[in-house]
Each structure stands twice: as structure tokens, then as C-alpha cells.
């Protein structure tokens, strides 16, 4: 296959894979609701490694929003080595383990420890239903069709995020039919903004990227940061919007791109941060819902369309950011299918 062809195919296939994901999910609705309600969990802990840890950050915020129960996200290594910092002693917890391969060493070791110590139940979200992690699940949500040839996660991440959002919708008694709008929205965004993503990616006059997000969008900003770092070997960081003023903005100059994932709850304050970064010389890009006519001071904006419910919006911020990383990788002569020094699955013999 030609350089980058797998990554591009996987990014562009997301609308169809999301449709398949929803088709596979809907038969689980009643049993998943029963599993969650019958166990009367005191708290939920999402866990993963790398991309799936960032997914966990976003998913934990969403689940807490819809259930009003304690939910947090921890890297799997933290669950493994510092379990006393991850959940309360004696609590009945649900651990949601997220892994594309289902074979990541830290995640498997952490889940085995939880199972062997009878600390709680385990729900697994994966793209490999035959994996070691899947076999440890008390409840399994999977989408094998989202598996990838590429090392860097794109459609696997978004499809597992879709399952996490759907899970939140079920336990939060949300209108699940809203999920059916997402594949068409994704297709429209890719069609509309692919040329823009290409222009941003191919502009090598910039050499550092800052992704900003608040609330459930912070995890998405972290994932966008990681994709840019993995695929393009570019300086890339992620912060909460207002935290960016507390030191990190000292790095901003005319070679910077500051990309804001704009929320409805904090839009005014987030836009003020982007405005300040433009004054410092950075190129500023805003992604969000209902942005038409509101932010002419930005260099560019990606309008994600009419507002949806909070619990299903995060996934739509991803595809254009993934494309930016792909096009920049290609422009720099790299192979986004096989990033430097990385493997698709991290396996550690010491665990």
C-alpha cells in the first residue's frame, strides 16, 4: 500500500463505521441498562493507555454529567500501581476498560488485579472481541469492524468513543435516537472541511500546535494533540483554555497554531483566550456548534452545525483534527500509517 493510504482510508471510513457501531450497540440497550442498574455502583472509573486514556477523560466527564454520580478516569498503570488513589476502599465500583487491541499489558494487568481482588465489575470497550481483555469483561461492548491497519488510532478511537457515549446515554435515560444523526454529520464535515484540513496540514510555516478544550472536550483536545505528535513529529500540547494563560502561552508566537474546541457552556471565556492568542501572533482556529457569524476575529472556524445534546457532541470534533494530522504528516514526508518508534500494541514483559 502507498504511504499514508491506510490512515486516510480509516479516517474517511468513519461515517460508515459509526453506522455499523450503532447497529451493533442497539441490541445491548436493555441488558446494559439492567447490568448498570442492578449492580448499584457507588462510582465508575474509566481506564486506558495513550489514546484510550484520553478517551476515558472525555467519557468520564460525560457519564458524570448524565448520571450525577462519581466518575473519574485513570491511566491503567495508575490503577495497577496506585489503586488506593483510584477508588475508595470498600466501594462497589465499575471499571470501564477501553482498549483498541484488548492486549495492552498495563490494562490487562490492572483489570486482572481488580478481578482477583473482587474490587468491582468490569465493562470492556474494544475493537477486538476475541482479545484477552474482552475475556475478562463482566460486560462487553465491541466493534471489531473499527480495527485498523495503522498504528495511530483514528476510526477505532471515534468508534469506541461512540460506544462510550451510547453507554452514557443508556444509563442516563437519554434519547438514543439522537445518535443516528452522527454518521451523516460526520460525512458532511469531512466533505466540507477536508480542503481546509489539507491547507492547515500543509502549511509548514507553523511549527507548534496547541489544542485547548474544557470539560468533556479536554480529553478530545488531548487526543488531537497526540495525533499531531504521533503522525507528524510536531511540537504539540493540550491544555484547558484558561489554564493556557497560566504559563504555557509564553511559548506562543507567529509560528504557532492555537486550536480551540469551543463549548457552549464557556464559549465567551474560551473565545477571549483565542483572541488573546491571536494578538500574540498565533494563527487561531475554533471548532464548535452554531459558530456562524460569531467569531470573525479568528483566522478560521469549523462550524460543527446545529447544537446537539452535550452527551453526543464530543465525537464530532475529531475527524477534521485527524485529517489535519494526516495531511501534515504527508507534507513532511512521513508515513502516518507507521509513526516513528511506535507499535500498535504495547506489551511489557515486566508486567
Domain locations along the chain: 5-176, 181-331
Give the mean pLDDT of 130-157.
96
For position 297, what pLDDT does the model report?
Answer: 80
**pLDDT, tens only, 282-294:** 999 999 998 876 6
Q: E-assigned strands of the chain?
A: 43-48, 71-75, 93-99, 120-126, 139-142, 208-213, 235-239, 256-261, 283-288, 300-303
Residue 207 exposed, middle or buried by CB count within 10 Å (0-12, 13-18, 19+)? exposed
What's the pLDDT at 260? Answer: 98
In b/e form, how buried is each residue of 83-117, taking b as 16+ CB within 10 angstroms?
A: beebbeeeeebbbbbbbbbbbbbbbbbbbbebbee
pTM of the predicted protein model: 0.95
Percent of the chain having pLDDT more than 70?
95
Note the pLDDT of residue 117.
Answer: 84
Number of helices (H), then strands (E), in the chain: 11, 10
- pLDDT tens for residues 246-291? 999 999 999 999 999 999 999 999 999 999 999 999 999 999 998 8
pLDDT of 43 > 60? The answer is yes
CATH superfamily of 181-331: Glucose-6-phosphate isomerase like protein; domain 1 (3.40.50.10490)
Give the angle 229-235-239 at the CA atoms, nearest 5°.
85
pLDDT above 90 coverage of the chain, percent? 83
Give the per-residue pLDDT at 91: 81
Note whether 5-176 and 181-331 share their fold.
yes
Q: Tell whether the model's pLDDT for residue 340 goes beyond 80.
A: no
Report, as an integer, the average pLDDT of 60-85.
92
What topology is assigned to 5-176 in CATH? Rossmann fold (3.40.50)
pLDDT in tens, 321-332: 999 999 999 999
In this structure, how many other beta carbons lie within 10 angstroms of the beta carbon of residue 174? 18
Cell of 304: 460543527
Tell me: pLDDT of 157 over 70.
yes
pLDDT score for 348 = 55
Rounded distance, CA 125 to CA 139, Å? Answer: 9
Residues 6+ apart with CB under 8 A from 2: none
Amino acid at each position: 500500500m502507498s504511504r499514508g493510504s491506510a490512515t486516510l482510508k480509516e479516517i474517511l471510513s468513519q461515517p460508515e463505521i459509526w453506522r455499523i457501531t450503532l447497529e451493533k450497540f442497539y441490541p445491548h440497550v436493555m441488558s446494559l441498562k439492567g447490568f448498570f442498574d442492578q449492580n448499584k455502583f457507588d462510582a465508575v472509573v474509566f481506564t486506558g493507555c495513550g489514546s484510550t486514556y484520553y478517551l476515558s477523560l472525555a467519557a468520564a466527564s460525560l457519564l458524570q454529567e448524565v448520571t450525577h454520580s462519581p466518575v473519574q478516569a485513570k491511566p491503567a498503570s495508575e490503577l495497577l500501581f496506585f489503586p488506593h488513589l483510584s477508588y475508595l476502599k470498600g466501594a462497589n465500583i465499575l471499571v470501564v476498560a477501553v482498549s483498541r487491541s484488548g492486549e495492552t499489558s498495563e490494562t490487562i494487568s490492572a483489570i486482572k488485579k481488580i478481578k482477583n481482588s473482587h474490587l468491582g465489575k468490569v465493562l470492556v470497550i474494544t475493537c477486538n472481541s476475541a482479545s484477552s481483555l474482552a475475556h475478562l469483561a463482566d460486560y462487553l461492548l465491541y466493534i471489531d469492524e473499527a480495527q485498523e491497519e495503522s498504528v495511530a488510532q483514528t476510526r477505532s478511537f471515534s468508534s469506541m468513543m461512540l460506544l462510550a457515549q451510547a453507554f452514557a446515554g443508556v444509563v442516563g435515560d437519554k434519547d438514543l435516537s439522537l445518535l443516528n444523526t452522527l454518521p451523516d454529520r460526520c460525512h458532511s464535515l469531512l466533505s466540507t472541511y477536508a480542503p481546509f484540513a489539507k491547507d492547515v496540514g500543509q502549511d509548514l510555516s507553523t511549527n507548534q500546535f496547541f489544542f485547548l478544550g474544557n470539560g468533556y472536550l479536554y480529553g478530545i483536545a488531548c487526543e488531537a494533540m497526540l495525533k499531531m505528535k504521533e503522525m507528524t513529529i510536531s511540537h504539540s500540547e493540550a491544555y484547558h483554555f484558561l489554564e493556557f494563560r497560566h504559563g504555557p502561552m509564553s511559548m506562543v508566537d507567529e509560528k504557532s497554531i492555537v486550536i480551540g474546541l469551543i463549548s457552549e457552556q464557556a464559549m465567551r471565556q474560551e473565545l477571549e483566550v483565542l483572541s488573546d492568542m491571536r494578538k500574540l501572533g498565533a494563527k487561531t482556529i475554533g471548532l464548535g456548534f452554531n459558530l456562524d457569524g460569531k467569531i470573525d476575529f479568528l483566522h478560521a472556524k469549523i462550524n460543527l452545525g446545529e447544537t446537539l445534546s452535550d452527551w453526543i457532541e464530543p465525537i464530532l470534533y475529531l475527524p477534521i483534527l485527524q485529517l489535519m494530522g494526516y495531511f501534515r504528516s504527508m507534507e513532511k514526508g512521513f508515513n502516518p500509517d507507521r509513526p516513528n518508534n511506535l507499535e500498535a500494541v504495547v506489551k511489557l514483559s515486566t508486567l
